[in-house]
Structure 1
């Protein structure tokens, strides 16, 4: 069994938990996931099965979320799972104030990940260091936030903002919630997170664990072929002996001058069978087709 699953992760499970369940349901060990989701978060979790696990790094990078941010509250984990650090009602906070602050979180921004996160510092995960009571300086990093759209505003003692966020890889929505609360004054934390898009997969086409179980037991489960999951990459058609040589890991001369240097391509043979991922590179100032991931090598 080879290919991808668009899993709708439930709250309360880690991404690793979901991989373990898929392994049991499909009775196969080779299962991996893309784009880790926090245990409390829900939504799209791309799952790769079989040889497709080697293709996870090549999936499209964009992500989108629907997030609920609660003001007047800060926690150790920057979401409702953690210890409350500060709590003070903010009934006077208005949507106009919030909207005025949002533009500074758009574009390329410097972001400090949450203290409880999978980021490594000194070879250890931040959440492990935090649970040990160690205080470490969390390095900031640059991330891209493409869009923040206000969906709803609930005023009150602890007002809540619902937003749709489109962003690049490595962006922590918990950090956006925390930092927005700091900018506005009363503090804030992430109250709910739903990932609506990840690595080319949409929530509308996702499959719950229960639905996955039913289909696996009925023998009706169909995995998404690698070529479909990587359809955002342009196709490079190789035929006959050229395709054989590429599958053997050989670098090939470039005949098509329209191919872009450093660009990635999904490689197909004359029957449109997916062969793997290639990159166009310069060798001795000449462009060549370099195998980056041969999906099925020659025996």
Structure 2
């Protein structure tokens, strides 16, 4: 059964929706979804959920990692090389030392304005739809968290390029980092290349391209990643047969555990089977396991 995950390595030119549609056709499976949208120009890890695992997407870890290349001296409408050029001015004098002096300003919890061309909704409309229609709108900033920025390479030229490793939380726009870093340096900056190396617990070293995935299917070699593999950040509670049966019927059962009220946990049968997701809720003197997603219900 196709109930699990595919760690897809998205190629340039595909939207995340394109990838879902392609996987759906290859598997002849209706229930397919993805975690963490990637822009068409970006490549790398795009977690794909199959079958019942689509209901687990909301429980995946939110952290992501990227290798990004920022080009200075250039600004575009989309904050990457896909958009119309707004300004272009050689800046051969720019040094790595000047750039690295600004990087600490981007670490930690910061306020970030998403690109005008993004899927963020403002007043019920996608920003990219508003931008394409020529409508002018003020994009509100939002809080994001960047855990670390590491310089991987520096290439001096008329339009210097900086290559960064970026570890960050959900909702961070790398295009905005490129734009804002260029603005701070008074050179302009845009994202020249982006590879997502890690997303929601999946890494690029274990990923498959669409062609590799199709070949594995053709040779009957494809096995979905077990649904609970991507949930290792959640605590585990194991249930004996009788409470496990009642929990799979959708009933609350007592948690013989001291986990805090509201904690999201993985539920396993005592024989090792992954049963689903529960939330720990305090009720009088007990803590109850409230079913949130029963992965293996009793029919």
TM-score interval for Structure 1 and Structure 2 normalised by the shorter chain: over 0.9
**Distance in 2 (alpha carbons) for counterparts of 1:29 and 1:262:** 32
Residue 40 of structure 1: aligned partner: 41
Alignment of 1:102-251 (within 5 A): 102-251=103-252
C-alpha displacement at 1:232, in angstroms? Answer: 2.2
What per-residue deviation string (whole Å, max 9, x for no partner) do you get for residues 122-176 of structure 1?
1111001111111111110000000000000001110000000000000000000
What per-residue deviation string (whole Å, max 9, x for no partner) do you get for residues 166-225 of structure 1?
000000000000000000101100000000000000000000111100001111101001
| Residues 256 and 287, structure 2, Cα contact 8 Å, conserved in 1 | no
**Distance in 2 (alpha carbons) for counterparts of 1:285 and 1:256:** 12
Residue 290 of structure 1: aligned partner: 290
**Distance in 2 (alpha carbons) for counterparts of 1:193 and 1:40:** 8
**Distance in 1 (alpha carbons) for counterparts of 2:250 and 2:89:** 62
C-alpha displacement at 1:60, in angstroms? Answer: 1.3
Alignment of 1:246-285 (within 5 A): 246-257=247-258, 259-284=259-284
Residue 78 of structure 1: aligned partner: 79
**Distance in 1 (alpha carbons) for counterparts of 2:247 and 2:113:** 43
**Distance in 2 (alpha carbons) for counterparts of 1:283 and 1:73:** 59
**Distance in 2 (alpha carbons) for counterparts of 1:90 and 1:46:** 38
C-alpha displacement at 1:284, in angstroms? Answer: 4.4
Indicate whether 1:28 and 2:33 are aligned: no
Q: Which moved more, 1:285-294 or 1:17-26?
A: 285-294
C-alpha displacement at 1:59, in angstroms? Answer: 0.8
What per-residue deviation string (whole Å, max 9, x for no partner) do you get for residues 87-133 of structure 1?
11111110000000000000000000000000001111100111111
Gaps of 5+ in 2: none
Indicate whether 1:57 and 2:55 are aligned: no
Which consecutive aligned stretches of 4+ in structure 1 deviate over 4 angstroms post-superposition? none
Q: Which moved more, 1:230-239 or 1:84-93?
A: 230-239
The alignment of Structure 1 onto Structure 2 pairs a total of residues equal to: 298
SS in 1 for 2:228: helix
**Distance in 2 (alpha carbons) for counterparts of 1:260 and 1:32:** 31
| Residues 257 and 287, structure 2, Cα contact 8 Å, conserved in 1 | no
C-alpha displacement at 1:286, in angstroms? Answer: 4.2
**Distance in 2 (alpha carbons) for counterparts of 1:284 and 1:122:** 43
**Distance in 1 (alpha carbons) for counterparts of 2:86 and 2:282:** 54
SS in 2 for 1:164: strand
The Cα RMSD (Å) is 1.0
Gaps of 5+ in 1: none
C-alpha displacement at 1:275, in angstroms? Answer: 0.6
**Distance in 2 (alpha carbons) for counterparts of 1:35 and 1:108:** 20
